[in-house]
Structure 1
């Protein structure tokens, strides 16, 4: 039970002095694994999309079609629109019940969805006549996956807002490590099963299923830990004492006023990033010039996996880890660094982006500019977005921290949706 003095002040302890200890950082590691599931569906599809969907399914005799040109942008919108909608709904209609219903159930539902994708990959082969129905069927499944995942993502950030700061960092580190592991997995499978995209996709989605099972098992183990129950129950008591255990427009507005600067930082960080990754970066092709291209693969699939997916996921992971060690700049000055990252959009725009169809000149053909810029963009995204996500629950009173965390998770998804729309607009501008 939490002391009455602490409850009267509505203060949730962050010093770890009271209650059970997280011995051996078991809960921290489990939370990091749970973080895999937050962006798992998104990472899963965007990494396999260029090789399997764009080139194998939607190109006809190596000639681009409307489906191959539009799939990446359509994927982004189909992923982020339902995700953002369910996040907004969940702000006002918090689904009750224990963790196993609010968080584990979406994982189980997505196991069914990914199994459906795997069945399509195994039993359906590409044909010109089948492009339309496969395109729209896959987008429908992706929307279903992300609608479910939105509930999972919003709830999980809300649950761990009651925990010390480093557990929010663990979720974000898990997000980025998930993307990194999936990229390494895809790269290895592509090297082993080169030029056999169907086999690559079968292996890939089978392993993705296994990762979702591991994520669900980690959630189950967390519910068995005394450390989890202590902080979870303490957060509930604090909100009941402050009469903020149920959401309302007044509570959400009060929360927003306390953390709106960090909310902007989260939105802008993810909107800028998703404008570039993966839609723009994955369509920046090698030009044959530059020092780095001597060491990068001539295979377009391998080149994209390395320069786009590996670069982004590796360095955004490093950035997220660094943010758990260093918190500079502080909450007041973070906004200036977040806004400065918009510079990367015109930089990538004038790289070798859609060089086959663009009418606007290319100024930076060499990978010697594209790859270092990708590293800086990815590192700054992981670092600054993690700082903003960590600062948000701490910008308000502790009895509002869960609502701030859920608001930040909702904003993250709105930022991803905004970036997906921006990336589609950039694709249209390049044709002008």
Structure 2
């Protein structure tokens, strides 16, 4: 994980450097540099996220949710940085400078924190010596027996004969947790088909805030903040149970037509605007985010606990891959809805 942190910090520093350079004479080159940085950043971040979920799957269930909460709350911090940057300067170049400087400083703090984390006795106890004890909440929800194990080294699921991951192992884990992986894909698809592409293009009808702050506040800040709240509530109220989560996940698909009938791309749309109140839109935005955080936390907690303890790391990484798949499909499909509306 150290490498992923260092690469992300380096990419942010490059973006800060680009903010100082006048790129108006080579826009095509600047575009491709930006695209390459975006691809590298998202690739490295995906690797980092998969590693994190693979590691934390060895821990009690609540720590899996803390990671999910952390990803949501990091978006809240980024949204606050964006809003503060807009308040400090109206010039786009200065905003970019502030924004990426904040991000770089925050990544450096995270890197330092990881160094101390690896020396933490609690972390080493679970990560290096997989001692597994059931909390009373976990006993009531998922597993019938307590498992106590001590292992001499860090390991993912490996075939005992050849020390390699096998297709048989993947199939076994898939059969145990496929419903939670499907839930995860559907949760992130239904969220990211709307956020941010559709929500960011919804224009205000009332004068609640200045127009330039409407999307940063009610799209980006709201989504990440209320998703974090949903993550927290999921830790306290783990309902529905694993088998019933799919029904709540499917209900969330109603958010897609809801936002399409808001004041989305008003200058190009051919469909009528049925949601004519910004307050109703704001309520829908908060509900989308809260339900995203709540259901995603449940799915991410249920997946590793649906398999035997020795398979937890692999199921955690598969759940992380499901997150990425859901986001990619959702973002791509958002363009189809834009074409449909216009």
Tell me the TM-score normalized by structure 2: 0.89
Equivalent residue for 1:120, pick from 11, 18, 29: 18
Partner Cα distance (2:232, 2:156) in 1: 34
For structure 1, which segment, 181-190 or 203-212, has the greater mean C-alpha deviation from structure 2 after superposition? 181-190
Report what 1:59 is aligned to.
none
Residue 309 (structure 1) aligned with residue 254 (structure 2): no
Partner Cα distance (1:409, 1:348) in 2: 27
Which stretches in structure 1 are left out of the alignment for 5+ residues? 1-102
Residue 237 (structure 1) aligned with residue 151 (structure 2): yes
Equivalent residue for 2:168, pick from 250, 261, 265: 250
Report what 1:351 is aligned to.
262
In the alignment of these two chains, the number of paired residues is 319
Which stretches in structure 2 are left out of the alignment for 5+ residues? 131-149
Deviation by residue 1:27-66 (Cα, 9 ceiling, x = unmatched): xxxxxxxxxxxxxxxxxxxxxxxxxxxxxxxxxxxxxxxx
Report what 1:178 is aligned to.
74
Residue 273 (structure 1) aligned with residue 273 (structure 2): no
Q: 1:221 to 1:131 in 2, by over 3 A?
A: same
Report what 1:408 is aligned to.
319
Partner Cα distance (1:185, 1:241) in 2: 40
Q: 1:148 to 1:156 in 2, by over 3 A?
A: same
Superposition deviation, residue 255 in structure 1: 0.2
Superposition deviation, residue 189 in structure 1: 2.1
Contact persistence 2:159–2:165 (CA under 8 A) = no
Contact persistence 1:272–1:345 (CA under 8 A) = yes
Superposition deviation, residue 241 in structure 1: 9.8
Contact persistence 2:156–2:311 (CA under 8 A) = no
Contact persistence 2:157–2:314 (CA under 8 A) = no
What secondary structure sits across from 2:274 in the alignment?
coil
Residue 262 (structure 1) aligned with residue 185 (structure 2): no
Contact persistence 2:57–2:312 (CA under 8 A) = yes
Residue 104 (structure 1) aligned with residue 2 (structure 2): yes
Superposition deviation, residue 130 in structure 1: 4.2
What secondary structure sits across from 2:272 in the alignment?
coil
For structure 1, which segment, 129-138 or 331-340, has the greater mean C-alpha deviation from structure 2 after superposition? 129-138
Report what 1:68 is aligned to.
none
Equivalent residue for 1:380, pick from 291, 295, 299: 291
Contact persistence 2:157–2:311 (CA under 8 A) = no
Equivalent residue for 1:327, pick from 217, 238, 243: 238
Contact persistence 2:158–2:165 (CA under 8 A) = no
Residue 164 (structure 1) aligned with residue 60 (structure 2): yes
Contact persistence 2:158–2:164 (CA under 8 A) = no
Equivalent residue for 2:88, pick from 171, 176, 192: 192
Contact persistence 1:242–1:399 (CA under 8 A) = no
What secondary structure sits across from 1:215 in the alignment?
helix
What secondary structure sits across from 2:85 in the alignment?
helix
Q: 1:390 to 1:222 in 2, by over 3 A?
A: same
Partner Cα distance (2:331, 2:264) in 1: 17
Partner Cα distance (1:342, 1:240) in 2: 35
Tell me the TM-score normalized by structure 1: 0.71
Partner Cα distance (2:18, 2:338) in 1: 29
Equivalent residue for 1:420, pick from 327, 331, 334: 331
